[in-house]
Structure 1
């Protein structure tokens, strides 16, 4: 498994790389965004680790945006910035997760594996991603070709918007989506609503899923950030 880490703290990079190599994760480290671009084009790593502050005038957020445009690889932002606003900004610009310094080596390894698992790349090294038309998440079944959804074998009457939101969330268990993420990635350019109308769609979707009971919630609120699909449903795909 190949990981590219853009980081200018040499000691941190060496320590983490040595640990991750024992986990079967090969890390290529650089502080140069241009060198990182060339490495991605040539080697196509499974995941990117990107420091927020980079030398040469470019930030990790700039790299996030370029990844969204060009490669769409799983990406974890690594930074000392721990404010909620910074986390939301990174997620909105395409980061799949956010790791705040200082962090433990086991946490780093666990987050890498979780992001790869959610992105569907944990067991595949071919670089090709199979198109999926059906999803099964525990009690929930989704068919993207027929816009059909079933819960415990019972058909759910969802609007197109509700289905698209549910499909996007269920496709990435555990990943946190901001309202802007859901508008852009699930609904696309043809959606004319505002971010706050997303709350109404999610509320209606939860009602149809029976998510009013806290112990059975499939869609979870991450306060101050957005929404995610309950990760414990993932092993029933």
Structure 2
């Protein structure tokens, strides 16, 4: 009989942290495996069916950000980054590389467990971040989004690649075109978590996406801002044949 208990891979070069996290997760009903670096992580991913990777950023050899970016380009295994970096920009970079969430060290093990469960709930049974739009081409304004290739194409045929964070955010907004979405809603829909009161993650992700799709950054027309409200994709969408 197939074991349906979620299998978590803990990747950290500090054995004390690896062992402590593993014991806590197993005590709370999860299966776990361990790796001390990105090379061991790759081996474990090939030989096991891993449901989520808990990945330390600061590791010798290939660091966690590089490993996370690589994973996001070749598959859909969710990643939760563990980082000792406290600056917002470092956390945002982590999300830009494709991480599903991040947690700063030192952390409360119960918060780690809650974050893991939130990611698993969001990704359970989901084969693509594109959701209902998987395998589609979507026209909005002067752009066409190819959900399979994760690129947007302008009216002259020029392509722009999207990071995982760009792609998730754009999909959420396309599925809710012309709806005003609060920062809290966007955080929940893109990462499955609730942001802190001063969390600027969504604002920074909106700014990065605007740089790719807006003609005039000073007067954005596609992603509009609503005071005390949030953001809205102000365009009609059309689903095209492949």
TM band (smaller chain): 0.5 to 0.7
> Quick check: 1:75 aligned with 2:97?
no
- Shift in Å at residue 128 of structure 1? 5.0
> Quick check: 1:174 aligned with 2:216?
no
- Shift in Å at residue 161 of structure 1? 9.5
Identify the residue that residue 232 of structure 1 maps to in structure 2: none
- Shift in Å at residue 162 of structure 1? 9.2
> Quick check: 1:95 aligned with 2:95?
no
Identify the residue that residue 174 of structure 2 maps to in structure 1: 164
- Which of 41, 49, 64 is the equivalent residue of 1:44? 49
Q: Hey, which of these two has a bigger chunk of helix by percent?
A: 1
- Which of 19, 24, 30 is the equivalent residue of 1:19? 24
Give the Cα–Cα distance (whole angstroms) in 2 for the partners of residues 15 and 162 of structure 1.
Answer: 36
Relative distance call for 1:180 and 1:26 in structure 2 (3 A) is same
Q: Is the 8 A contact 2:81 2:101 kept in 1?
A: yes
3-state SS in 1 of match to 2:40: helix
Number of residue pairs aligned between Structure 1 and Structure 2: 179
Relative distance call for 1:192 and 1:103 in structure 2 (3 A) is same
Give the Cα–Cα distance (whole angstroms) in 2 for the partners of residues 161 and 18 of structure 1.
Answer: 37
Q: How large is the Cα RMSD of the aligned pairs? A: 4.0
Q: Is the 8 A contact 1:91 1:178 kept in 2?
A: no
Relative distance call for 1:83 and 1:48 in structure 2 (3 A) is same
Give the Cα–Cα distance (whole angstroms) in 1 for the partners of residues 224 and 21 of structure 2.
Answer: 39
Relative distance call for 1:161 and 1:8 in structure 2 (3 A) is closer
Give the Cα–Cα distance (whole angstroms) in 2 for the partners of residues 182 and 46 of structure 1.
Answer: 31
Q: Is the 8 A contact 1:162 1:201 kept in 2?
A: no
After TM superposition, list the pairs within 5 Å mapping 1:96-135 onto structure 2: 96-118=100-122, 120-121=123-124, 124=125, 128=127, 132-133=131-132
> Quick check: 1:201 aligned with 2:231?
no
- Shift in Å at residue 174 of structure 1? 3.4
**1:168-196, Cα deviation, whole Å (9 max, x unpaired):** 94753537556557866xx9x8x354777
Q: Is the 8 A contact 2:115 2:193 kept in 1?
A: no
Q: Is the 8 A contact 1:68 1:94 kept in 2?
A: yes
Relative distance call for 1:183 and 1:8 in structure 2 (3 A) is same
Relative distance call for 1:36 and 1:192 in structure 2 (3 A) is same
Gaps of 5+ in 1: 135-143, 148-159, 207-211, 221-237
3-state SS in 2 of match to 1:48: strand
Gaps of 5+ in 2: 1-5, 141-169, 178-184, 195-200, 232-242
**1:163-220, Cα deviation, whole Å (9 max, x unpaired):** 5174794753537556557866xx9x8x3547776697142xx5xxxxx6x6xx6x58
